[in-house]
Chains A and B, each alone.
Chain A
Amino acid sequence: MTSIGTSADSVADTRPEIAHLEGVTEKSRGPWTDAWRRLIRNKAAVVGLIVIIGFILAAIFAPQITPYTYAEQNYLAVNTAPQWVIDLFPKMAAMGTENGYVRVNNDYYLGTDNVGRDLFTRIVYGARISLSVAFIGPLTSLLVGTIYGMVSGYVGGRVDTIMMRFVDIMYAFPTLLLIILMMAFFRASFTQSEAGTLAYRLNKIDAAFGGMLFIFIGIGLTSWMDTARLARGQVLSLREKEFIEAAESIGVSDRGILFRHILPNIMGPVIVRESLAIPRYISTEAFLSFIGLGVNPPTPSWGNMISEGAQAVKSYPNQAIFPALALFLLMFAFNFLGDGLRDALDPRATKEA
């Protein structure tokens, strides 16, 4: 299996070794430093990284950079748009001009929605939701999937068969249907739970995060199977290696072998897989919020903003197009970064879909 488009990388691979051999100034570098170097040499990945950092900063400093709060409604400024937005969308016509219907209000950078909330503020706060999913989604999937796969692969035998059969069933399960059902279940049953129970506490946490907790749980429960299979496969091939045998012979415990010796060796491919899955988590959250099972209103998510805006796309395209652009930009950035990470961490891997 030859690599595609990684000729530059393989050149980069040899360089540090030569430097090392010649004993010149350069210090020896670990694999992560090498990966980082490869990553920042990839222009698309760097652009993606910069965009993501921009979004992260906006999300962190949302209260500072937004002029309003995301729930603040101004009934005197419903469905308004500033002049530059009206100019941007040719079919929008300002009130006062021929067939004009849009109220001009330059106090809001991107205009307001149909209850008079600032679009810019809501988009910035929406980044918090999407980014949280982008980080916690892979984390849950990584945690559940890696441990599950490692245990399955390391214990082997009958346990392995049963655990993998369960993964097969989960695979065949229609993910989208399951996640929709689960969200409906969480939303309805936990809000009516009695005080003091676990369900009640979970619901409180969920409410505090604007409904994100259940999205994390939903995504986590439906996305760990890929990682589990990958981790298991890696463990199976590593288990036969000499260094594991050596560790066993000096009496390292099973847990020690799994977490100290095997885990660091399988992290590369697992991280690549997870980073490539990030755009999927982001779009899953947006999808759930779009169909009304995501975040609780009035918490803004790009998904529910697009859903509300899409109903008025003829008259007020800004209400749907701006959040859609934000969503697109973030997914694009994560796709670029994910591709870059794959090339950097796993230069020998063929480019598959």
Chain B
Amino acid sequence: MAQYFARSFVGLLVVLLIVSVITFFLMHQVPGGPFAREKKLPQNVLNNLNAKYNLDAPVWQQYLDYMGDLLIPKITTGEYKYSVTDDHLINIRLPFGDNTTLRWMNFGPSYTDRTRSVNGIIQDHFPISFQLGVAAMVVATIIGLPLGTFAALRKNTAFDYFSMSLAILGVSVPAIVLGPMLQYVVAVELNWLPTTGWGSFQQLIMPAFALGFAQSALIARLTRASLLQVLNEDYIRTARAKGLRNQQVVWLHAMKNALIPVVTIMGPLLAALITGTFVIEKVFGIPGLGHYFVVSINQRDYATIMGTTLLFAFFIVIANFLVDLTYVWLDPRIRYND
């Protein structure tokens, strides 16, 4: 099993590597560089800028330099001077020497915002997208799980039809529909919550709901289908034959297995929520990382494109990897021996 996980971990690294290659070469294929303006810059200025940001080297050379900066950790001692070209995501103080620090993951400087490094942008704005994604996940789970469970337990009743209709409704309202509608009804018309902004709990509620509602429908449908299937299995009949109370059978015996498929999609769902906040951020005026991702593509801000893409890809890939782990934890019958 350890071998299986080692192999799928290596697979994860390979995917990230491929993502980095494709992104890097695709974005350099797009005409117009970060310094292309309506009014053309003088050639010598452009040359200097290109030289400063290493854009005059062949693309494969630039790629190797970028990945080198990113992946090769370095150790610094003594006084450390911050600069946008030398800003690392991970800084670990080592317990010896004079301020000896291990620094890793330098995403380079932003090409469009001269005072910031990509690392700075990530550290300032990613936590916001992350909080929003997690809040949306909480919303999705609180709505979806009970809805699906009770729909399965009261199969073919009015409640079942109601909750499954709600689920179809949920998958039919993408965030770009639900966002403005909620904003109008809840914020403008009822004046219960602020329309836009970020920072307070009130400002979190609507975006989290708008983002999480569609996923709650997914969770509800999956929970219902999976619980129904489990309730038909022999071991449930055995449990009932032993005379266990219905509550015990459902909550202790059936739920644990019924939740396996649900839990397995939760990882990718969470990753999708964290990395899929662009729309909600735009509608609700939230200063998250999604905005920087979209804008950086339009501005050809190569370093920011790479940094945000790799970060998002990392979360998605890790989520898929964790799914494998939870499988084993939840279902002891699954063994990876091959």
Could you tell me which A residues sit within 8 Å of B by CB distance? 1-2, 4-5, 89-91, 168-169, 172-174, 176-178, 180-182, 184-185, 188-189, 192, 279, 283, 286-287, 290-292, 303, 306-307, 309-310, 313-314, 317, 320-321, 324-325, 327-328, 331-332, 335-336, 339, 350-353
Of all chain B residues, the one with the shortest Cβ separation from A309 is B180
Judge whether A180 and B316 touch: CB under 8 Å: no
Judge whether B26 and A290 touch: CB under 8 Å: no
Contacts A177-B275, A177-B309; A189 near B171 (Cβ below 8 A): no
The stretch of B41-49, B100-108, B183-191, B240-248 that contacts the partner chain: B183-191
Contacts A172-B317, A332-B169, A353-B222; A286 near B282 (Cβ below 8 A): no
Of all chain A residues, the one with the shortest Cβ separation from B169 is A332
B60-97 CB contacts (< 8 Å) to partner A? none
Judge whether B31 and A192 touch: CB under 8 Å: yes
Task: State A287–B177 Cα separation when bound (angstroms).
Answer: 10
> Which chain A residues lie closer than 8 Å to B225 at the CB level?
4, 350-353
Question: Interface readout for B10-40 with A: 1 if CB under 8 Å, 0 if not?
Answer: 0110110011001100110111100000000
22 contacts between A and B (CB under 8 A): A89-B189, A168-B11, A173-B15, A174-B313, A176-B272, A177-B309, A180-B294, A192-B31, A279-B171, A283-B176, A286-B174, A292-B294, A292-B298, A310-B180, A310-B283, A327-B176, A328-B173, A332-B169, A353-B221, A353-B222, A353-B225, A353-B265
A63 CB to closest chain B CB, in angstroms? 27
> Which chain A residues lie closer than 8 Å to B222 at the CB level?
352-353
> Which chain A residues lie closer than 8 Å to B179 at the CB level?
310
The answer, yes or no, to whether B154 is at the interface (CB within 8 Å) is no
The answer, yes or no, to whether B292 is at the interface (CB within 8 Å) is no
Closest 4 CB pairs of A and B: A353-B222, A353-B221, A283-B174, A332-B172
> Which chain A residues lie closer than 8 Å to B232 at the CB level?
2
Judge whether A313 and B15 touch: CB under 8 Å: no
Task: State A173–B222 Cα separation when bound (angstroms).
Answer: 24
Judge whether A287 and B297 touch: CB under 8 Å: no
Task: State A213–B12 Cα separation when bound (angstroms).
Answer: 33
Judge whether B188 and A327 touch: CB under 8 Å: no
Task: State A239–B31 Cα separation when bound (angstroms).
Answer: 48
> Which chain A residues lie closer than 8 Å to B309 at the CB level?
174, 177, 181
Question: Interface readout for B294-338 with A: 1 if CB under 8 Å, 0 if not?
Answer: 100110000001000100110011001000000000000000000
Judge whether B180 and A321 touch: CB under 8 Å: yes
Contacts A192-B31, A307-B176, A321-B181; A313 near B188 (Cβ below 8 A): yes
The answer, yes or no, to whether B155 is at the interface (CB within 8 Å) is yes
Judge whether A306 and B180 touch: CB under 8 Å: yes
Q: Which of A283, A332, A336, A339 has the most CB of B within 10 A?
A: A283
Judge whether B168 and A169 touch: CB under 8 Å: no
Task: State A182–B309 Cα separation when bound (angstroms).
Answer: 13
Counting contact residues on chain B (CB < 8 A from A), the size range is 35 or more
> Which chain B residues lie closer than 8 Å to A91 at the CB level?
188-189
The answer, yes or no, to whether B200 is at the interface (CB within 8 Å) is no
Judge whether A185 and B312 touch: CB under 8 Å: no
Task: State A151–B297 Cα separation when bound (angstroms).
Answer: 36
Judge whether A181 and B275 touch: CB under 8 Å: no
A291 contacts which of B11, B177, B180, B294 (Cβ < 8 Å)?
A: B294
B210-244 CB contacts (< 8 Å) to partner A? 218-219, 221-222, 224-225, 228-229, 232
A311 CB to closest chain B CB, in angstroms? 9
> Which chain B residues lie closer than 8 Å to A291 at the CB level?
278-279, 282, 294
Task: State A350–B232 Cα separation when bound (angstroms).
Answer: 13
Task: State A291–B279 Cα separation when bound (angstroms).
Answer: 7
Could you tell me which B residues sit within 8 Å of A by CB distance? 11-12, 14-15, 18-19, 22-23, 26-27, 29-32, 155-156, 168-169, 171-174, 176-177, 179-181, 183-184, 188-189, 195, 218-219, 221-222, 224-225, 228-229, 232, 265, 272, 275-276, 278-279, 282-283, 293-294, 297-298, 305, 309, 312-313, 316-317, 320
Judge whether A286 and B15 touch: CB under 8 Å: no
Judge whether B168 and A174 touch: CB under 8 Å: no
Task: State A325–B224 Cα separation when bound (angstroms).
Answer: 28
Of all chain A residues, the one with the shortest Cβ separation from B174 is A283
> Which chain A residues lie closer than 8 Å to B172 at the CB level?
279, 328, 331-332, 335
Task: State A350–B261 Cα separation when bound (angstroms).
Answer: 14
Judge whether A1 and B229 touch: CB under 8 Å: yes
Judge whether A328 and B177 touch: CB under 8 Å: yes
Contacts A2-B232, A291-B278; A313 near B184 (Cβ below 8 A): yes
> Which chain A residues lie closer than 8 Å to B317 at the CB level?
172
Q: Which of B32, B176, B279 has the most CB of A within 10 A?
A: B176
Judge whether B176 and A317 touch: CB under 8 Å: no
B18 CB to closest chain A CB, in angstroms? 6
> Which chain B residues lie closer than 8 Å to A309 at the CB level?
180
B29 contacts which of A1, A189, A283, A336 (Cβ < 8 Å)?
A: A189
Judge whether A5 and B168 touch: CB under 8 Å: no
Contacts A4-B155, A189-B30, A352-B225; A310 near B183 (Cβ below 8 A): yes
B31 contacts which of A189, A279, A328, A352 (Cβ < 8 Å)?
A: A189
> Which chain B residues lie closer than 8 Å to A174 at the CB level?
19, 275, 309, 312-313, 316
Judge whether A184 and B30 touch: CB under 8 Å: yes
Judge whether B316 and A287 touch: CB under 8 Å: no
> Which chain A residues lie closer than 8 Å to B18 at the CB level?
169, 173
A321 contacts which of B23, B184, B195, B218 (Cβ < 8 Å)?
A: B184
Judge whether B184 and A320 touch: CB under 8 Å: yes
> Which chain B residues lie closer than 8 Å to A184 at the CB level?
27, 30, 297-298
Of all chain A residues, the one with the shortest Cβ separation from B152 is A4
B136 CB to closest chain A CB, in angstroms? 15
Judge whether B27 and A313 touch: CB under 8 Å: no
A186 CB to closest chain B CB, in angstroms? 9
List 16 other contacts, CB 8 Å, given A184-B30, A310-B176: A5-B155, A169-B15, A169-B18, A176-B272, A177-B293, A178-B22, A180-B293, A181-B26, A181-B309, A189-B30, A286-B176, A287-B279, A310-B179, A313-B188, A327-B177, A328-B172
Task: State A189–B19 Cα separation when bound (angstroms).
Answer: 20
> Which chain B residues lie closer than 8 Å to A339 at the CB level?
168
> Which chain A residues lie closer than 8 Å to B181 at the CB level?
321, 324
